Amino acid sequence: MKKQSSYEGLQKNVRSLKTPEIEVWKNRYPDKAYTINLDIPEFTCICPKTGLPDFARIRIEYSPAKYCIELKSLKMYTIFYRNIGIFHEHLANKMLEDFVKAAKPRWARIIAEFNPRGGITTTVMREYKK
């Protein structure tokens, strides 16, 4: 018989989490393939198991098509997570889904580099390609 994990059910609604809107503005160079790198070195969220803060550096790389990300709204989006209990893996997936929904880029990559927890550093990377 499989032992049930004490983590069971902690993140069952993560995909439907209502996050702030990430705003965009119209790219005047949609015919050019170029890369934008965004760096969020002081990201925080909460461990859903312990309730303690998790600290991370979030890097976003993308090639805009029709739209570019408006940075103030991205900042407000990231601040939202300060009080949210979320696993590292779920955070990277949720952020990329929300980012792609807003910007509709040619491609995008999110790299979430979390500070050590229990002596283990976690880095989660997810990519999107059209």
CATH code, 110: 3.30.1130.10
Q: Can you give the pTM of this predicted structure?
A: 0.91
Q: What digits encode the pLDDT tens for the residues 92-123?
A: 999 999 999 999 999 999 999 999 988 999 99
Considering the candidates 39, 45, 47, 98, report the single residue annotated as catalytic: 47
- Give the domain extent around 31: 23-129
Q: At a CB cut-off of 8 Å and minimum separation 6, what does 77 contact?
A: 19, 20, 21, 22, 98
The answer to whether residue 45 is catalytic is no
pLDDT attached to residue 16: 87
Quick check: is 18 in a domain? no
Establish if 9 belongs to a structural domain: no
Does 2 reside within a domain? Answer: no
6 within a domain of the structure (yes/no): no
Using the predicted structure, report yes or no on whether residue 63 has a pLDDT greater than 80: yes
Give the total number of structural domains in the chain. Answer: 1
Q: Is the pLDDT of residue 69 over 90?
A: yes
Residue 11 domain flag: no
For tokens 């980012």, name the residue: 99
27 within domain boundaries: yes
pLDDT of amino acid 3: 55
Candidates 45, 54, 68, 98; catalytic one: 54
Whether 7 is in a domain gets the answer no
47 part of the active site: yes
Strand partners, 28: none
